[in-house]
Each structure stands twice: as C-alpha cells, then as structure tokens.
A and B are shown apart, each in its own frame.
Chain A
C-alpha cells in the first residue's frame, strides 16, 4: 500500500513537471523588420500656391517584412491594431500584405488595404513558419485645410495567435 502511494505521488509529480516545463511548450514568434516615416511639406502641394496637399501617401510595397516562426501543425492568424499620439481626426491609416513570404505552409487574405483601428482586427492567416511577408502602408486624409504642422506618432501592433 505504501509502495502504491509513493508510486501515485511520483506519477502526479511527473504530470505536474510536464505541464510546467517550458521545454515542452512551443511559443509562436512574430518578428518585424523595416520601418516607414513620411514628411509632408511644400513639395507635396498638388499644384503650387493655393493648392491643397496631396491627400494620400504610400510606402514602398516591401516597406516592412514580417517573419512568423516556432509554429506547430496548428494554423495561426494575425491581427492588427494601432495606438497613436496627437493623431489628426482626418488621418486614416491602412495596410496590406504585398507578398506571400517564404515557407512550406500556407497564407491567405490581407492583400487588400485594411484600415487600422484602435481595436484588434483580423488581417491574414496561414500555417507553418513563414518569412519575408511584405507589408505596405498607406496614409490618407491629409489636407492643408484641416492639418497643423507637427509630428504625429503611430504604433502598429501585429499579434499572431496559433490555434490548438
């Protein structure tokens, strides 16, 4: 009886160790390279004195690259949201995926411009590790009538979640 009790305790301890051991848990990873900045000035007038600013500004198609790694057999999804400082009410920020990246799994959606908001929203999904997923940004709503000179900061959050 005593031997059985010790054996049960050892088995339960084994189970706890397995659940707590990080070596057994796989954590998906998303990384990002590249950056965008835009300066709006007199050269961006649509037609000289008296004209408005160009309304829309676009980054390079491969301005930013996403890499998703440490995946398992489960599919994953990427959501996006933003936070900003002094963001003009007329500014709208958009992004889209311009490449499938490189990997043996799959990737879908996100190739049409999506306006980023302050809450998480679905961007694209896929499976397996994937590198060099190119992202393009777009800023719209720029007008001399409604804007003040200054610096406007924005942070984009890319959150990848792998299913079970």
Chain B
C-alpha cells in the first residue's frame, strides 16, 4: 500500500493529507491558523486539537483580561510588525478582537497604522497581557508547522 492509498483510506481526515515529500494543503494550514486546534482535529488528532485550542484560548483570554494590546503596526517602529505578526497568529481570536475594537469599517480604513489594538500602557497588567497574547499567537503558529509535518507524514 502506498502512502497515497493510506491517505485516501482515512476518508475525510486523509483528504487534506499530502503524501511524503509533498507540501501540505494550503487550505488545511489556513484553517489551522484561523481556528486554533482545527488543523489537528481535521487530521484526526482530536485530543491534541482540544488541548491546543484550550491552551491558546486561555492564553488569549488572559492576555485580553489583563489589558494586553493586540499588536498592530506602528510607524517608525519596525518591531511593532513582529508584535503584530505574533498576535495575528491567534487567528480568529485576534481578528475578532480587532473587529470588536475598531469595527469592520475602522479596521479596513485604519489599515495598517491607525488600527487600535486595545490595552492601556499605563495599566499594571499591560506587559503581562501582551506576553500572554504574543505567547498564544506564537503557539498557534507552531501548531500550524505541526499540522504541516503531520499532513506530510513527517510526524504521527
């Protein structure tokens, strides 16, 4: 039985799987980014999916509750792009928070430098909140790499 046969025999879970040496489906990776844990769920790794979803959600909610700011690009501040990338890793959580703060119109018109990320730098929990938001986003980005490895047959 070839790797392709094994993948097709797994039904829906195997639909987005790539054979050895191939790239993982970009749709699978996009879904894995957008909804934390969903990539593992689609590949049949349900226990891991639930744990990742819960951990990332807890990290994100803690960050928001402690007054963290969703990273947004700021002029004359190149490192703010890194913060924005880390926070964007949260997928729908990050986008939902930005829509909550700016509205869809504000988000579109304010892109990229006039988007509000929430939080107040003078709050005691600001730095802690940011840390949780960045950590949650980066963890979700790592799960995307993990989904890619699993889909390509590089990992169980």
Q: Do A and B bind each other?
A: no
